Amino acid sequence: MQNIHYQQIWQTVQLIPQGQVACYGQIADLAGLPGRARLVGKALGKVPKKGWRGQSVPWFRVINSQGKISFPSGSEYFAKQKQHLQDEQVVVLGSKIKLKDFQWQPDLAEILFSLEF
DNA sequence: ACCTTGACGGTTC
DNA sequence: GGAACCGCCAAGG
């Protein structure tokens, strides 16, 4: 396929460690697409369910810059995302997550690694 | 080539 | 806090 941007995004999302979260804008920046948070949302909506390059894409570790799950509360996907996060010990109160405690803070080495492709 | 759609973000009030 | 508004721009129709 030719949608290079989606692939860069999926790949970056795969770097988020288990038990941590990242926001859409943060992923966009790390993927080399500054200012394109919305594209990240679109890309996540299209992750291959079977995974990509042999690994699953942990879409549920991506939330918005306000620390909230971006699906309408009550929707099927909202529940699914919340469940996945709680399963890996991320505390979700209502729809909110404390970024201060759970946001992924990639170190320099990780950033450089992600830029090599 | 034009128009709409996004799992968004920052600014402002 | 939260809501309204505007900027963003690749993809798909």
Q: Which domain, by its residues, includes A104?
A: 4-115
Instruction: Supply the DSSP symbol for A25.
Output: H
How many independent structural domains does chain A possess? Answer: 1
Q: Are A65 and A22 within 8 A, CB to CB?
A: no
pLDDT in tens, chain A (117 residues): 568 899 999 999 999 999 999 999 999 999 999 999 999 999 999 999 999 999 999 999 999 999 999 999 989 999 999 999 999 999 999 999 999 999 999 987 776 776 665
State whether the beta carbon of A4 lies below 7 angstroms from any atom of strand C.
yes
State the Cα–Cα distance between residues A53 and A102, nearest whole angstrom: 26
- pLDDT tens across A18-52, in order? 999 999 999 999 999 999 999 999 999 999 999 99
Whether the CB of A48 is less than 7 Å away from nucleic strand B comes out as no
Q: Find the nucleotide nearest A60 (Cα to C1′).
A: B7
Which CATH number does the domain housing residue A91 bear?
1.10.10.10
Strand C lies under 7 A from the Cβ of residue A39: yes
**What b-and-e string marks burial along A52-73, b requiring 16 or more CB atoms within 10 Å of the CB?**
beeeebbbbbbbeeebbbbbee
